[in-house]
Each structure stands twice: as C-alpha cells, then as structure tokens.
Structure 1
Amino acid sequence: MPAPTHERVDHRFKALPPDAEGLTVGELAAQRRNLFTGGFLTPVLALSAESLAHNLRLMEEYAERHGLLFAPHGKTSMAPQLFDRQLEHGAWGITAAMPHQARVYRAHGIARIFLANELVDAAALRWLAAELDADPDFRFVCYVDSVRGVELMDEALRAAGARRPVDVVVELAAGERGRTGVRTEAGCAAVADAVASTTTLRLVGVAGYEGTMPGADAELVREWLDRLVSLAADFDEAGRFSPEIGEIVVSAGGSEWFDTVAEAFATIPELSLPALKLLRSGAYVSHDDGQYRDRTPFNRIPEEGALRPAFRLWSQVVSRPTPGQAFTNAGKRDAAHDLHLPEAQVVRDARTGEIRAAEGVTVTGLSDQHAWLATEAGADVEVGDWVGMGLSHPCTSFDKWQLIPLVEADGTVVDYIRTYF
C-alpha cells in the first residue's frame, strides 16, 4: 500500500483547500496550514493531535498495568497510520471484523490479525490461505461458532490447497440473547470437536464480545467472562490444545467493559500453556462525546486516568432564518448520527476569530447536508460563524472521511490521517 504522504490532493478528499490541488499529502502537511485560515472548506472533521497522543499512551499503560496484551479493533478507524501508532504503543496486533479489513491490514504489512467474526466465505478463505502460505510470520486468528461453519472453512481451505492451518477460537455468546457465538458449553465442545476433526484448522483458544450483551451491567458481564475463563480451563483440562500452539488465547473486550475483562482475566488459572490475555477495545483511540463518554471503565475507576474526545466537526452557519433557529452545512454525510446527534460545543466568530462556548445552541436534527440548530434567546451565533461539534460513536465518524486533518490545539494541521473504508 503506498504511503498516504505520496497521494495527490484533489477532489476525492472533501474539505481540503482547493489551492492545494496537485500537492502530495506530505507536501500539504509540511505547509502546516491553519485549519481556520488555511483555505479549508467547511464542513471539516479535525482530529486532535494532543488528545490522540494522550489516549494512545493511556491505553498502553492500562494494558501493561493489568497484564493484558492488546489488539485494538481497527474497524473503528481503518487508518493504517493509527495502526502504526497503536503498535508503537505496545499493541500485539490489530483486530478486524471483515475480510476486506484484513486485506487492508495486510496491504499495510500488519503481521498479526485477530478477526473477531466467523469466516465462511470461500473467496476470503482462498485469499487467507495464500497469505498464510506466502508469509510464515503472519499470525491470523478468527472465530468459529458452529459445526457447519467449521465444515465450510475446511472445505474451502482444502479446495484452496492450504498448507498452513488457520488458527481459530471458539466464540462463546455473550448471553442467550447475544449476537453471534455458541450459546452453551456443550455446544462449544461440539464445535471444538469439529475443529479437531480437520487438518485445515487449529484450535488456539476461546473468545467473545460482551459489547452486544442485552441489558449489560458489570454483574452480567462478569458472569459471562467467568464462563469464558472456565471454558478455556475446561478445554485445556480435556487436552483440546496442542502443545505446538505455544499459548492459549483468551480474548474479549469492547470499549465499555474492559475493566471487568481485566478483573476476570486476572483469575485465569495456570494452564498447560501460557495464556494470551487479549483485549480488543478500539474506540479509545479517538474516544467520543456521546456513546463512550460516560461508559468507559475510566469513568468508573478515575484513578486509572481519563480518555479525551479527539474529534471535532467544524461546520459553518449558512442560514439564520429565525431568532430561534440556525442551520450549518454539515449533515448526515459528515457527522456520525447512528447513536446520538452531534453536540454544539464552541463557536468561532467569523469577524474576530474568537472561539467561545456555544451557549444556548443545540443540534436538534440532521438533514443530508444540514444540521438543524435550536438557538435560545441571547445565543451568539451568526451566518458565517463556524460551529465546532462533538461527535458520538467513532466507528461512524471515521468512515465518512477519507483524509482527516490532525490538528494541534492552536489550529495547526500537522498531518492527515488516511482511512480505507
């Protein structure tokens, strides 16, 4: 995959300065333009350089402190530059959800991929077999949760002439009404037996994802995690793990309950092989102003630190039709809106450049290309002003922008983050 610094700036990348047309991304970054005065179009999504660095460092320290390895979910950002930063901060590898994402990772040279999903697509398995056979240092792990899924994987891998087995973990569902995953321990054993009957697959552990557990709270999540830990121990006692795998993978952890994961994984008993305790939280890298702001473990255990929201979407007031209403030029195509509406946080005065709190300004809705703002009496916002908005749910913020300015606190753009959704 070519470095994003070599790509040419053109119409493909929204919000970038029109007068930068033809420059490479690296050349534009070297100019260190100001986000507000450097010719950027609105709306423009900005990623805080300081908050990003803080969040990367904080999660690295957390994992080390709790004896966890870390494979952050890359589908949150799909930004190889951020993968590199995460690996520099101690990540074991990067988690994917779909084969397309794994292909992006491999194009960027990621050596360890955890696919937190079932994989039964024959075309994807042919690609995977070729990747594994071509690179003996490539480590890949994915879920299995059904005998039929195992059969389909085995059939596709044998047809592809795969020489290396694919490492798999049995997925334990997070509750009876959870998403994917085996519902019972007996079912898990049946899937493990099916894996053992093949030569194309190799059982290396157990895993799951608590983030979709209906009605999740600390007690329910811990009960499920205790089942996951017991499943690993039971599989080991039954001799289901070959010594050649070197370590037993036990993996969980979204962005809301990784403190409970740390507590539960601390109770993993001594196994016949070392336990690879793998956390997969991904939303921490940018954090947010909605879904995760009040739900991360750092809110429950403030002595561990605090994540910082790193995104701000700047849009411009284009209409002020009534004293109680204003419209900016950012809509559904620009702002994450699947879980919460954006929050109006600050206003940059078009006349003076002064940035002030967006007092009395509330985003009440989004059209395709407009944000609907309710403005209380005395709200200081006029046509031409820029409104800075906080966003919820990082996964659907990154996927709307292919090239995101990385901005220092004074507005200086120091880099551009390339995404591949």
Structure 2
Amino acid sequence: MDVPEVRVDWRSKGFWLPDETLTAAELAADKPSIFGGRFTWPLLVLRRDAAEANIATMAAYVRRHGWELCPHAKTTMAPGLLARQTEAGAWGMTVATANQALVLRRLGVDRVLIANEVLDPTALRWLAEQGAAGWEVHVQVDSVAGATAAARAAGAGRLRVLVEQGHDQGRTGVRTLGELEEVARVVAAAPGLEAAGVTAYEGQLQTGPQVDAFLDEVLTGFSRLRAAGLLRDDPIVSAGGSAWFDRVVERFAPLAGQATLVLRSGASVTHDDGFYRERTPFLRVPQEGPLAAALDIWAQIISVPEPGLALAGMGKRDAPFDEGLPVAMEIRRADGSSAPVTGVEVTKLNDHHTYLSTGDAEPAPGDLVRFGISHPCTAFDKWRHIPVVDEDLRVVDVLATYF
C-alpha cells in the first residue's frame, strides 16, 4: 500500500514548530528526544517496539489457528501502521464507513471489508464501480432494505455482500435465523450482488457463555444459508472484536475447510492500560499472547491549587474517556528524574484539564506525567500527527492519521 510522506508544522498538535516544516524522515534522522524542545504538552506517542510486538503477536495467533486477520483500520486510520499490519500478513482491512473505505482505496489497500450496512446510493454506486474494476470490497447488510439498496446501486457493477447476524440488545445484524435467510435470498437473487458470506459482532456481550451461545447461533445461520444454496462456493465467515476473539476462534473451529475465517480485531495493534488490559483474551489464553500497551500521553502539571489535587494540561480533546479514564503511570520531575506513580488517580476530564487525586504523591507545577490510555479506538482520532518513539523516547518516525 502507498504511505504518503508525512510533514509536520505549526498545525501539528504536540510538535513545537512555529517557523519550520519537517518530514518524518528528517525527524527520524535527527532522532530528537521528546523532552528536547521540539515538542510540547500534551503529546501522544506510540512506542514502536510495543506496537511491532503486538502486530507480530496477532499475526502469529491467526496463523496458528488457520484464520485470516482483517484488522479494523478505524482504530488508527494511520497509513504507517496499516502498512505494517499488511506486511505482517493481514488479509485485508476493516472499516466502519464508506468514507474510510474511500481513504483505504486511495492508499492502495487491495481488500476492504465495511463492517456496517451502507445505504447511501452515491457511496454504494462508487463501491460497485470499484468492485467491477477489480477492487475486492465487501459490504454488510442486515435488512431487506439494505440488500435492496445494494442491488439497486450495483447495476452493472459488483458488490460482495456479507449478511450480518446480530443478537438481542446488540448493535446491528438481523435478530432471527428467518430474517437471515430472508435477507440472504434477496442478495442471492440480485444480479449485481455476490452472496460472499456471513458476519457477526460479539464484542458487546458481557460473559463467555453469552458469547458462546451467540456464536453457536451464527454457526447455525451459516449452515442454514449454505444448505439452502444461498452462499458462494468459497464463503467468508467473519467475527471478532478485541475482547472475545479467543472464543470466536474456538467456536468457529468446525468451519475450517468450509469457509475463509476472518478475524476483525483492531484494538490489539496498540492495546491499552485500561479497557483492553482488563478484557484481552490473552488473560484467558496467556500462552497465546501477550499484548503490550503502546500508547502514552505525556502531560504537564499546570496547577496544584490545594492539597491532594493537581491538574494536568490534558483533556477530552487529547485523551479517550469513553471506556475509562487515562491512567497515571510515571512522573518526570523538572531535573529529569522519573519514577512510577502510586496512589495517583484521574478523577475527571474537562476539555483541556485532567483532575488528579494525588494521594501521598507531591507533584509540582511543571512536572510531567506519563498517562496510559483506555480504549485506543478513540485516541488516534484526536491527533493529526503522532511521534513514534524508541525505548529512549527518541522520535524514530511520525504517523499521520486520516480521519
């Protein structure tokens, strides 16, 4: 895939470049420390070694189990990281929207799966045209209306379609096997559509037994469509968020040899210090992992207005907060010394302020705090450019994001 040259300047949050423009290659050649004056706070960084280890871990995991990995690109939308995942053997890339699919098409990603129903006729026509021109793009449908819209837009083009099965109180996807077959029949009968397979998302379920029961229902749905002759000869079966992919791999094992099995887990590329640290499947199957948190945000203490309270110059514009607040990991004093923090807790975020309960710690104005994040899927979109750092916190690359 094509990774466009990255240029940073005064528009790049976290970089301090009031009068110059630099390429990622120029920064990498210089290897500046993040504490050396070219950066300011807050600053999101990606730790290279951790991210590369995560990519290798997931690539090895799917290979061992006979699966393909189509990681969700919406986690990062960073061409540099998507390219590394592709180089490691990713089968394709998953996206959430037609707009994201357009970005990946322009980046030269050969195979894309849109994990949502697309109903916009303009986008559907373009997707069908690109499919007819040789691009392998897959869309999902979970209703007769969606299948009909895809058929109407396809015309003389081509759309590969996955019928999505869901669960009660879940996200998208048909709720019954009867609906699954009804939608699949519309797809199979439409000249411009190809019934490529079945897809599902189990990530919102809370317990292992709930996940297993749902995945078994998906197996039943796939078998029903296959027996009815409603799927192509080499179908796809796809599932897998980042919290239950071990259950997906185990429950779908009987499909080996019957379908191309595609895992869509995306958050594993950086993991985290919150939501996924507590929910990673590798806690259940530690011999298969592990993953390491690869994202840090450095922020400066800007006020200590009363005992037990400190405020850091970081907020909702900078850090994810939808699946847990940032986690204080380390404090760096003005003299350059640093130490892990204990007893320091983030209690809330404003737009540009983080409230810290300091416990027995005594942060001072000007100190830097390294925060781990919770939920990488809402971290990358807040940053146009992200420095990639080595173990010495020297910049070795810069990622651009395409949200």
Contact 2:10/2:16 (CA < 8 Å) preserved in 1?
A: no
Contact 1:20/1:28 (CA < 8 Å) preserved in 2?
A: no
Structure 2 counterpart of 1:232: 222
Name which of 246, 249, 253 aligns with 1:262.
249
Structure 1 counterpart of 2:48: 49
Structure 1 counterpart of 2:349: 366
Structure 1 counterpart of 2:150: 153
Cα-Cα RMSD: 1.6
Pairwise CA distance, 1:240 = 1.6
Structure 2 counterpart of 1:409: 391
Structure 1 counterpart of 2:140: 143
Pairwise CA distance, 1:364 = 1.1
Segment drifting more, 222-231 vs 276-285? 222-231
Paired residue type of 2:38: G
Compared CA separation, residues 270 and 234, structure 1 to 2 (3 A): farther
For 1:280 and 1:415, locate their aligned partners in 2 and report how far apart those are by CA, in whole Å.
26
Does 2:200 match 1:208?
yes
Structure 1 counterpart of 2:271: 287
Paired residue type of 1:308: A
- CA offsets per residue over residues 292-321 of structure 1, 9 Å max, x none? 101111011111121100111000111111
For 2:343 and 2:244, locate their aligned partners in 1 and report how far apart those are by CA, in whole Å.
34
Contact 2:3/2:80 (CA < 8 Å) preserved in 1?
A: no
Name which of 369, 377, 384 aligns with 1:387.
369
Structure 2 counterpart of 1:418: 400
Paired residue type of 1:310: A
Compared CA separation, residues 395 and 242, structure 1 to 2 (3 A): closer
Pairwise CA distance, 1:289 = 0.9
For 2:64 and 2:341, locate their aligned partners in 1 and report how far apart those are by CA, in whole Å.
39
Pairwise CA distance, 1:51 = 0.5
Does 2:235 match 1:248?
yes
For 1:415 and 1:269, locate their aligned partners in 2 and report how far apart those are by CA, in whole Å.
40
Structure 2 counterpart of 1:11: 10
Contact 1:45/1:405 (CA < 8 Å) preserved in 2?
A: yes
Paired residue type of 1:142: V
Compared CA separation, residues 304 and 8, structure 1 to 2 (3 A): closer
Contact 2:95/2:101 (CA < 8 Å) preserved in 1?
A: yes
For 1:50 and 1:203, locate their aligned partners in 2 and report how far apart those are by CA, in whole Å.
40
Structure 2 counterpart of 1:167: 160
Q: What are the equivalent positions in structure 2 for 1:75-94 lying under 5 Å apart?
A: 75-94=74-93
Query: How many equivalent pairs are there?
Result: 403
- CA offsets per residue over residues 164-189 of structure 1, 9 Å max, x none? x201111111x222111111111111
Structure 2: gaps (5+ residues): none
Pairwise CA distance, 1:53 = 1.0
Paired residue type of 2:367: D
Compared CA separation, residues 27 and 4, structure 1 to 2 (3 A): farther
Pairwise CA distance, 1:333 = 0.4
Structure 2 counterpart of 1:344: 328
Does 2:209 match 1:219?
yes
Structure 2 counterpart of 1:296: 280
Contact 1:325/1:372 (CA < 8 Å) preserved in 2?
A: yes
Paired residue type of 1:63: V
For 1:280 and 1:222, locate their aligned partners in 2 and report how far apart those are by CA, in whole Å.
17
For 1:147 and 1:3, locate their aligned partners in 2 and report how far apart those are by CA, in whole Å.
38
Q: What are the equivalent positions in structure 2 for 1:322-341 lying under 5 Å apart?
A: 322-341=306-325
Pairwise CA distance, 1:132 = 2.1
- CA offsets per residue over residues 241-287 of structure 1, 9 Å max, x none? 244xxx2101100000010011012112754xxx1000000000000
Contact 2:328/2:370 (CA < 8 Å) preserved in 1?
A: yes
Compared CA separation, residues 20 and 130, structure 1 to 2 (3 A): farther
Contact 1:233/1:269 (CA < 8 Å) preserved in 2?
A: no
Structure 1 counterpart of 2:297: 313
Q: Secondary structure at the match of 2:387?
A: strand
Paired residue type of 2:131: L
- CA offsets per residue over residues 39-85 of structure 1, 9 Å max, x none? 21100001111110110111111101111111000001111111111
Structure 1 counterpart of 2:39: 40
Q: Secondary structure at the match of 1:171?
A: strand
Structure 2 counterpart of 1:29: 28
For 1:419 and 1:172, locate their aligned partners in 2 and report how far apart those are by CA, in whole Å.
31
Q: Secondary structure at the match of 2:168?
A: coil
Q: Secondary structure at the match of 1:37?
A: coil
Pairwise CA distance, 1:130 = 2.7
Structure 2 counterpart of 1:182: 174
Name which of 146, 169, 186 aligns with 1:194.
186
Q: Quick one: percent identity of the two aligned structures?
A: 45
Q: Secondary structure at the match of 1:46?
A: strand
- CA offsets per residue over residues 103-162 of structure 1, 9 Å max, x none? 11111100000111111111111221232233x2x211111111111111222222xxx3
- TM-score w.r.t. length of structure 1: 0.92
Compared CA separation, residues 3 and 301, structure 1 to 2 (3 A): closer
